[in-house]
Structure 1
Amino acid sequence: MSVVHVRYVRKAIEDRFTNLIDMSDKTGIPLDKRHQEFLSRGLAALAVQAEHPCSDPDASLGVFDGRDDWGLDAIAVDTRASQPRICLVQAKWSDRAKGGFGHDEVHKMLHGLDLILDLEFARFNLRFQRHVSALEQAFDLGTPKITLVLALMRTDPLNQDVRQLLEEKIAKYNQVEEMVDYKFLDLQDFHRTILGDAAAPRIEARMRLEGFGHETVPYKAIYGTMTVPNIADLFTEYRRGLFARNIRDSLDLTDVNVKIRNTLLEQPEHFWYFSNGITVLCDSIKSLGKAVPGGVAEFQLAGVSVVNGAQTVSAIHKAYTHDPDTAQRGRVLVRLISLEDCPEGFGDKVTTSTNTQNPIEDRDFKSLDPVQARLRDEFVLVLSLRYVIKRGEPRPEPEHGSSITEAAEALAAAHTEAVYAALAKRDLSELWQDDVYVEIFGSAPNVHRVWRCVLLLRAVRARLAELRDGLLSRAMAVAGYGDLLITHVIYRQLNTQGITDPDTDWNAQLSRVPALVEDALAWCLHAIDAEIGPSSHIVAAVRNTERIQRAARSAIRGMASGRSAPELNSDYQVSGAEAKGRQVDAAKTLVTARRIPDGTALEFRPVTRPERREMAEWLAEDPSRSLAIWRNSAKDQLQWQADGQWYSPSRLVRVMRKMASGKDQSVQGTLNWYVPDEGSLKDLADNVRAEKDLVADETEAPEIV
């Protein structure tokens, strides 16, 4: 790879993304520097396409590099899979293939990740805001898998010190399970991306098979066992070129991939038995030397492509890189299929067939358990409701019943030990492990208790959904991530002695839930701050079995103490933040201090969930609706770019919300209007007041003689 290949990538970026990638924030800089910025953003768009295949316009919309990007340049969110995926890109262009990535870039990138995990979406710029709705959906659906992509126009490997720092930092997010991973895309990867799969380099490779066998009718195929080091070396040499025909490529952070890697690192001698193996299509297969079936032989392969088992190959490489001494003991079954004498299209049929078989999940086996069949019957006979236990069966409407999955979540939250709430929160599939499943369902679950726990969980989630609209920052994160923890805490406050008795008035207990949810949320946040730390990630606290136990015990003690619930920080509540924003009028404070120069461009960013829900589409229809110009005036400081008229920050936001949703209500606009790279008007006013207070304190301090 050389500067010649860099030119190929440059031309592809220019051909595909010119006039698509937003460069409006770079109009005032020299043309050559502006073009370098464009190439870097184009590289980020290519990285988005490499991870989430999409059109050029869609990839361009994923780029939000610029002011307030917080160390991230592009994003892609996929909520279609059973577990949502979020791809975050940082890109570095270099004409000489020397794109740099150092310690500072690591820290910046992970700070941006922290803001996203803490749901601090308003801290990001306008181009990021169009992705907030998808991000919220990803977090609402469960704990997403997050991939950090280092898109670097370079040929050298990543510096070992930088790689070590990155892996150490990422390890802190993965103390429970792998939620965050990273990928390094270099010149070779981008060159292959722009060529496309059909034009990918033709791979010729030598493979050594142990205990091999063969098929000759109707088509030629060889099968046998390969060692993990040989598979890892193959990936190291050819990387993603191996997967040219594979319809899914290697999804490095899927549940399957992580389990493959863990098996290889924990039970390498069992890997051959637990793995489905690898299927390889070849244009031709040639035996090197004498090959006796059942023995060891080497084969020369031309036109190699892994069409099934891409995740296995990728996981093997990662496990072997992480711990070669352990992983090298693993072995894997490999099938080599020659296309020499096959009819046209046969290779495509192999690829499709081997990738579209529905996998059997652990929960499918539980649907065969007599315990679940009995529950299903009792739901009908005792409750006149439906209970769905088979995957693929239509779920009943909430008022008509429940599914085995919803019941498992509810029973995990209601268990005496909070660890089961953590297991359910981080990965529902863990509830189907035999020991966990027996613990939450028991040998003879009572149908009344199961249904009433489901009703409790629904009531908690409904109230949390209402509260989230008025919450910000960590409080909003607890309301979003902490539903099972809060349900666990509330269950301990209810009178559950008669929960299995059909004559018990469970509605009387459910009527207490709305008030209890507010108190439990406050106590849970207080407990997480006190037990784990005020800067800890809420998502980690509710997924870690040790942390959730500490938080649950503390919150339950607080609820049982009879004391009033801790008051939420005003910055965690929309009403409180608005009240602080009005303190001595934030806009007046800024004007008096001349803190913002006349002519400064400001951006409108929705802060609350209702604002995002009601205004996102309306704002996207006309970009000028999110822009205003500042002037230092006693009134009407903002000139809205949508109509050219002057407004105060709050009046303008009120007008905008009425236009977007038809709702006319008082708001505090200084929360929404941001000076890029500096903060909201409220933030800036708070800083001005803090500086004045500091000066006053220093002035009043007694002189020391």
Structure 2
Amino acid sequence: MSKPHVRFVAKTIKGRFSDLIDVSDQTNPSPEARHQAFLSRGLAALARQMVSPCTDVTAAQSVVDGRDDCGVDAVAVDPPSPQPHIWLIQAKWSDGLKGTFGMDEVNRMIDGLNYIVDLNFEKFNNRFRPHIPQLEEALDNASPRITLVLALMRVDPLHPDIVQLLKEKIKRFNQVEEMVDYKILDLRDFHRALLGDAAAPKIDTRVQLQGFGQEISPARAFYGTMTAPAIADLFAEHRRGLFARNIRDALDLTDVNVKIRNTLLDQPEHFWYFSNGITVLCESIQPIGRSLPGGVGDFALTGASVVNGAQTVSAIHRAFSENPDQAQHGRVLVRLISLENCPPGFGDQVTTNTNTQNPIEDRDFKSLDNAQITLRDEFALALGLSYVIRRGEQVPDPEHGCSITEAAEALAATHEKPEYAALAKRDPSALWQDEAYQELFGATPNVHHVWRSVQLLRVVRNELAKLRDSSVSRPAAMAGYGDLLIAHVVYQQLDNTDIEDPDGTWDKQLAQVPTLVADAIKWSLQSINREFGPKSHIIAAVRNTERIRRVVRSAVTGMSADPSSATERQERAPRVRQIETVKTLLTAERISDGTVLEFRPVTRTDRREMAGWLDEDAARGRAVWRNNDRAQLQWQADKKWYSPTGLVRKMRTMAYGMEQPVQGTLYWYVPDEGSLIDLADSIRAEQDLVVEEESVPGDA
């Protein structure tokens, strides 16, 4: 591929996004520099359309490139589903096919990923703000998938050291489960995507089926067994070109895909029985030789495309790459369907129907268990409530009952072993496997135990929602991710000896929960920081069975040994006289007079309630700094002077009537440098001072 192909992509970007992508923030006055910035952002928008199809307007709105983009040039979240998918895109344009992606780019993109996983959205610029609600919703899910997309205008492969560094960085996010992956798009991918079906590779290949059979009418088809090595070789040769007609391509990090790979590595002899198989559409199929049905047959395929089983194919390839000695024993059922002499649209019908059938889940089998049927009856007779056990049935309002799914989560949270809380958070479907299911429900589940566990989890979640909306940083992440962990810790503090007694006083226990939730968060965070470090991911602590065990042990012991709250305990600790943030900045003259600062909402409530108000007038989100003892910020909305905290208080009151105390230095950012408190902390670190934000004149 050469420069004409680059010009074709550039022309397409210009045609699609000229009036949609904003480059007004570019400070370089050179028209060529601004054009290159436009092409880079356009490439990010184009990549967004390729990984998550959308309109040109939506693609342009996905672009967040600019100052403080934290290595993310565009962001997309697929529509809500059982497993949300987040796409983080970094794009590098180059007219000369030298789109670079080196160590600095890897580190910046991983920094951005860290901020997102830890819910530190204020680290990003204001272009990023519209995407936060979707990201929060996706990350609230038990098992989101995140793909880092490298959109590079180049044809040469990345340097192996850079690829290895990226893999090592990503591996840290996948210690609990495979949550993060990466995808590289180069000129070939962009060119093929823009040409559409005309650029789809035509795959002609030969395959061998063991024990094959055939169908003659209405379409010619052959079916039989292929070995895992043969499938792996097929993918290695043709890669994603195999999936040109597939609706979903190969979704490498889906729960199904991981299970497929694990089955092939752990039980290769069972793989044929556990897999749904692979369906391949072909323009034509030609048997080679005179093989008879029931034997081994060789077939020449023209225009072959996997339309169902893309995940199976990619999972087999990855498993075979990881452990060929084990995976080579696997076999899989394959169907070859010829489109020769078929009516128009028949291939599309095959593709659609093979990809839209509802799979049967383990949970569906458990709904047939006599214990669940009995529990449903007891909910009605003993409690006057509904207990829904079948998928598709309407879930009752909270005051009228619950579902089997909510019950399983609640029982996992209140089980004596915290590992089940981690399992439920990591992979809810695993609760329906026989061993876990028996541990949670037992042979004869007690209706009062089940319902009271549900009540407890609901109270914990309601309290966490309040705290999450008003918290920042790690407490916000704990409130967002830690519902089952916190419920487990709280349950250990309650008198639960009579939880199964119909006459038990469970309401008195529930009344203690709100206070206990706040303390459980603080003790759990202390435990995580001590056990795994203050920069460790909260999401890992709540999903990993070993980590959650250590956190719970420490948190429960601490709360039980000291009846006072963690806050009171900290207040009793000796205080060191510490330097206040604004004074630190003024003394060091860290910020030059006239510097324009940017306001970024910190809490979820602020983001939700202030977004529209800020969008009404861009001046509301800007202030000019001066080095003054009393009023450092000139708000551009009214040209008056305020302290950082005083201005945030005024803005929150105007936006949505919030008058509670606030730490204003968290909200105001010097672009590309950090918040006021970040800058003060860096000064203190250089001076080796221990400091704490205190209220002093000038920051009230």
Name the CA distance, whole Å, in 1 between partners of 2:24 and 2:110: 27
- Aligned mate of 2:595, from 589, 593, 600: 600
Give SS of 1:131's match.
helix
Taking the aligned partners of 1:537 and 1:693, their CA distance within structure 2 comes to 26
Report the residue type matching 1:280 in the other structure.
V
Distance 1:392 1:159, change over 3 A: same
Q: Say if 2:15 is the partner of 1:20.
A: no
1:569 deviates by 11
C-alpha distance in 2 between matches for 1:188 and 1:204: 20
State the shift of 1:549 in Å: 0.7
Q: 550-559 or 681-690, which moves further after superposition?
A: 681-690
Q: How does 1:513-524 map to 2 (within 5 A)?
A: 513-524=513-524
Q: Does the C-alpha gap of structure 1 residues 692 and 419 become closer, same or farther in structure 2, counting only changes over 3 Å? A: closer
Shift of 1:273: 1.8
Cα drift, residue 136 of structure 1: 1.3
Which residue identity lines up with residue 684 of structure 1 in the other structure? L
Q: Deviations over 1:12-65 (max 9, x none)?
A: 222222232232221424232332232222222222222211112212222222
Instruction: Determine which of 657, 666, 677 is the counterpart of 2:672.
Output: 677
- Amino acid corresponding to residue 86 of structure 1 in structure 2: I
Does residue 1:496 correspond to 2:491, yes or no?
no
Q: Which residue identity is paired with 1:626?
A: G
| Partner residue in 1 for 2:621 | 626
Match of 1:372 in 2: 372
- The range that moved more, 458-467 or 649-658, is 649-658
Instruction: Report the Cα offset of residue 116 of structure 1.
Output: 1.4
What is the deviation of 1:552?
0.7
Amino acid at match of 1:316: I
CA displacement, residues 392-431 of structure 1 (integer Å, 9 cap, x when unaligned) = 1111110000111111111111111111111011111110
Question: Partner letter of residue 494 of structure 1?
Answer: L
Aligned to 2:697: none
Structure 1 contact 558–565 (Cα < 8 Å) conserved: no
Matches within 5 A, 1:4-19: 4-19=4-19
Q: Are 1:466 and 2:466 an aligned pair?
A: yes
Deviation of 1:686 (Å): 4.3
Equivalent position SS for 1:276:
coil
Contact 2:597 2:625 in 1 (8 A): yes
Cα–Cα, structure 1 residues 345 and 277, in superposed 2: closer, same or farther, change >3 Å? same
| 2:388 counterpart of 1:404 | no
TM-aligned CA distance change 1:23 to 1:317, over 3 Å:
farther
Paired residue for 2:486?
A: 486
Q: Residue in 2 aligned with 1:285?
A: 285
With over 3 angstroms needed to count, the CA separation of the structure-2 counterparts of 1:388 and 1:686, relative to structure 1, is same
Give 2:651's aligned residue.
Answer: 656
**Aligned partners of 1:198 and 1:244 also within 8 Å:** no
CA distance in 2, matches of 1:569, 1:203: 68
1:613 aligned partner: 608
Q: CA deviation at 1:390?
A: 0.6
- Alignment CA distance shift 1:422-1:691 (3 Å): closer
Task: State the alpha-carbon separation in 2 of the partners of residues 209 and 5 from structure 1.
Answer: 40
- Range with bigger deviation, 611-620 or 436-445: 611-620
Q: Secondary structure at the match of 1:100?
A: coil
Q: Which residue of 1 aligns with 2:170?
A: 170
- Deviates further, 267-276 or 417-426: 267-276
Q: Displacement of 1:528 after TM fit? A: 1.4
Is the CA contact 1:189–1:240 (under 8 Å) kept in the aligned structure 2?
A: no
- What is the CA–CA distance in structure 1 between the aligned matches of 2:371 and 2:266, rounded to whole Å? 32
Say which SS state the counterpart of residue 97 (structure 1) adopts. coil
The 1:176–1:634 alpha-carbon spacing in structure 2 relative to 1, beyond 3 Å, is closer
CA-to-aligned-CA distance 1:345-383 (integer Å, 9 cap, x gap): 111111111111000011011000000000000000000
Cα offset for 1:194? 1.5
Q: Hey, what's the Cα distance between the residues in 1 that align with 2:311 and 2:466?
A: 41
CA distance in 1, matches of 2:611, 2:235: 43
How far apart are the structure 2 equivalents of 1:38 and 1:329? Answer: 51
Aligned residues of 1:130 and 1:620 also touching (Cα < 8 A): no
Count of aligned pairs: 686
Alpha-carbon distance, 1:594 to partner? 3.7
1:699 is matched with which residue?
A: none
State the alpha-carbon separation in 2 of the partners of residues 624 and 294 from structure 1: 76
SS of 2:567's partner is: coil
**How many Å separate the matches in 2 of 1:623 and 1:197?**
43
Shift of 1:306: 1.8
Counterpart CA distance in 2 for 1:249 and 1:474 is: 36
Whether the 8 Å contact between 1:268 and 1:329 is mirrored in structure 2 is: yes
Measured against aligned partners, the alpha-carbon deviations of 1:232-277 in whole angstroms (never above 9, x if no partner) come to 3333343333323222222221111111122222222322221111
Contact map agreement 1:264 1:319 (CA 8 A) in 2: yes
Tell me if the contact between 2:193 and 2:199 (Cα under 8 Å) persists in the aligned partners. Answer: no
Q: Please, which moves more after superposition, 362-371 or 91-100?
A: 91-100
SS of 2:150's partner is strand
Distance change (3 Å), C-alpha of 1:387 and 1:448: same
Q: Which moved more, 1:675-684 or 1:545-554?
A: 675-684
Corresponding residue of 2:698: none
Question: Residue 325 and residue 105 in structure 1: after superposition, are their counterparts in 2 closer, same or farther (change >3 A)?
Answer: farther
Tell me, what secondary structure is at the counterpart of 1:340?
coil
Structure 2 CA distance for partners of 1:497 and 1:588, relative to 1, 3 Å = closer
Deviation per residue, 1:309-337 (Å, 9 max, x gap) = 12112222322333333333322222121
Q: Secondary structure at the match of 1:25?
A: coil
Change (3 A) 1:332 1:535: same
| Distance apart, 1:532 and its partner CA | 2.4
1:703 corresponds to: none
Note the C-alpha offset of 1:685.
3.7
Runs ≥4 in structure 1, deviation > 6 angstroms?
692-695
After superposition, give the CA deviation of every residue in 1:282-328 in whole Å (9 maximum; x if it has no partner): 22222334343233333332332221112112222322333333333
Q: TM-score, normalized by length of structure 1?
A: 0.91
TM-score in terms of structure 2 length: 0.92
Structure 2 distance, partners of 1:429, 1:489, is 23
CA distance in 2, matches of 1:135, 1:154: 30
Contact 2:142–2:428 (8 Å) recurs in 1: no
CA contact (8 A) 1:213 1:293 kept: yes
1:429 alignment partner AA: S
Q: How far, CA to CA, are the matches of 1:224 and 1:642 in structure 2? A: 72
Cα deviation for residue 641 of structure 1 reads: 4.6
Could you tell me how far apart the structure 2 residues matched to 1:229 and 1:10 are? 40
Matching residue's letter, 2:122: A
For the 8 Å contact 1:65–1:72, the answer to whether it is kept is yes
Structure 1 residues 657 and 346, CA gap change in structure 2 (3 angstroms): same
Do the aligned partners of residues 28 and 630 (structure 1) sit closer, same or farther apart at CA in structure 2, a change above 3 Å counting? Answer: farther
Partner of 1:89: 89
Q: For the residues of structure 2 that align with 1:523 and 1:555, how far apart are their CA atoms?
A: 5
Quote the offset at 1:651 in angstroms: 4.2
Aligned-partner residue type, residue 276 of structure 1: N
Distance change in 2, residues 1:656/1:205 (3 Å) = farther
Secondary structure in 2 matching 1:602:
strand
Letter in 1 for 2:15: D
Report the Cα distance in structure 1 between the residues aligned to 2:419 and 2:580, rounded to whole angstroms.
Answer: 47
Name the CA shift for 1:530/1:668 in 2 (closer, same or farther; >3 Å).
Answer: closer
Going from structure 1 to structure 2, the CA distance change for 1:414 and 1:666 (only over 3 Å counts) comes to closer
- In 2, are the aligned partners of 1:242 and 1:306 still within 8 Å (CA)? yes
* Counterpart position of 2:254: 254
**Deviation (angstroms), 1:453:** 0.7
- Cα distance, 1:180 vs. partner? 1.4
CA distance in 1: counterparts of 2:166 and 2:688, whole angstroms:
40
Aligned residue type for 1:71: G
Is 1:338 paired with 2:333? Answer: no
Task: Name which of structure 1's ranges 285-294 and 560-569 shifts more when overlaid on structure 2.
Answer: 560-569
Stretch of structure 1 that moved more, 309-318 or 622-631: 622-631
Contact in 1 for aligned 2:210/2:224 (Cα 8 Å): yes
Superposed, 1:23-42 pairs within 5 Å as: 23-42=23-42
- Provide the C-alpha distance between the structure 2 equivalents of 1:358 and 1:540, rounded to a whole number of angstroms: 31
CA contact (8 A) 1:209 1:226 kept: yes
- How far apart in 2 are the matches of 1:298 and 1:31? 60
**Equivalent residue, structure 1, for 2:74:** 74
Partner of 1:301: 301
Aligned counterparts of 1:618 and 1:568: Cα–Cα separation in 2: 37
**Conserved 8 A contact 1:379-1:386:** yes
Q: CA deviation at 1:170?
A: 2.1
- The answer for unaligned runs of 5 or more in structure 1 is 571-575, 696-705
* One-letter identity of the residue aligned with 1:397: D
